[in-house]
Chain A
Amino acid sequence: MKIWTSEHVFDHPWETVTTAAMQKYPNPMNPSVIGVDVLDRHIDPSGKLHSHRLLSTEWGMPSIVKSLIGACRTKTYVQEHSVVDPMKKTMELKSSNISFTNLVSVDERLIYKPHPQEPEKTILTQEAIISVKGISVSSYLEGLMENTISSNANKGREALEWVISKLNAEIEEFTASARGSMRTSMAAAAFVEK
């Protein structure tokens, strides 16, 4: 069993990062995530939003393998439970694989909070617990997986930055076109008045 932890600061406010995290997929850094579904969503009595999601991933197996074992069986699934507390400003996300649980289990936990010293920034702490069933090769395999998880975590952060830029660009575009149509209608109104 191995535990991997890390901490990262995003140079964006918590609301921005949380909004982006809810819309994380699709993004170019995680091309293997091909489907996201919400299985359940509700607000609990204390006002926190719970979401249960199913992620479908496809690891790009060679087509000959797919044709042998069937395309459906090349997909793997991850379930994710997130809790967003808008009052305390925390978002906690827990995910675990539901495919191949007889071979390996990967549990991840991420917490997004405003940075305690710089409230316009967001701090992410994440940890992963990996265990591989079977004894002799497990620590080697766990070591391999740990590297993958670490590099995936970097991709995950880049992915959020990408989503944040995309959302900001959409807002700018919307504002620019709203300004454009306001000017047009003001000009039309001025013309009519004359």
Chain B
Amino acid sequence: MMEEEEAEESPPLSPSVIEGTEEVTPPLSVSPSSIRVTEAAQDGELLTFIIVSQKLSGTGEYHVDRTYEDFDWLQQHLFSLEDVPGIQGIIFPPLPARAQQNAPVKLVRQLGLLATGETWTPYCRALEAYLQQVAGHSLLSRTQHLETFLTSPEPPGRQKVKRGLFNRLSQAMEGIRKDGHTKDVDDFFRTEREHNLSLTGLSRAAAEPVSLNTAPLSLLLFQRFLEVVQTEQKIAVACGHFAASLQLCVEAGDDPGQETFSKMCVKISEIMESMKKNVQKVAENDVTTLGLGLDLECRYQEAEKEMLFRRTFKLVELETASRNAERAKPLKKAAMDEIKKAAEKDFDQVSVVAKQEVARFQRARVAVLRQALVRWCELQILTATGSAEQWNQQLLAFRGPARGPEPSS
């Protein structure tokens, strides 16, 4: 089910938006901003996405089909990249959660409306943004895995990737997750951690139910936005229902009184159909602009939190190593010192990367929200203008024939 997107100046959430003026020279053979997820085809349980990207040199494009497993494969490989110093300081582009149709309502709110709408378009847009973000990331885009994902005719290996490094870290992190008290050595990070905490709260991964008193601000906003959209959809359904019921009242008959009433019903039915279409459009606008924007914001805030936790973990490791080195008996001292030095180097590298990432992230999220808000606003105006014109036409038609001079017949 291909959805044609409205003509836009630049695709939303593209690297050009996120990167700003940063120069990116990936060895990637495709242009990051050209990556599109054009289609989602469902065959029973299997959901396949078509991904198109433009070659950087020469003309031509790559068309590949991928499933969610392939996306997951990519993400896991990104997590376990080697030879990327300070990789733990990277804010990894967050992959949208797996789409589940007919998911229970509670879960729906967490996954976002992306997976629940009538079309796959929003979800495709989110996956597309993910790919563009990875491709546009100076460190992550160099991986062969991305190249394979985007260009290989064969789907990348769909075996389960061993979760490796990050999983061990995640387990370890549980311990310090709730610890917001680990003092930071760097003011920059202290403020950032506080800020992130206020936005994301102490919640765990977004897939779990969030209780209101610990609900992070951005997620709360997103949930409430979803509720607005869902109510809009309900209104559309009610209008449609009303329109249909009115049609049932229409009866053919000779009686003039009956005829007038029937005509009236048809009229109101038309009005209700118009209203239904209008509300549907409003809901659609909501989802494709602010909806996507807020969803990305939520996921990225989580991703930043993960990164900050990882860095804090490194700090804890460093502090532990320092203490050990201090207290070490002369025999072990040298070894402990080595460990401490390594931990120090590691932590410094991570902090350097992290600082860049945070700065980049702050710029990017402002840009993303800006675009989402501007676009949302523009579409509201557009839709409302069209709707107003429709009502105006209806009103004019209602008033009947002109009182002016009649054209000669």
A and B part of one assembly: no
Residues of A within 8 A of B (CB): none
Residues of B within 8 A of A (CB): none
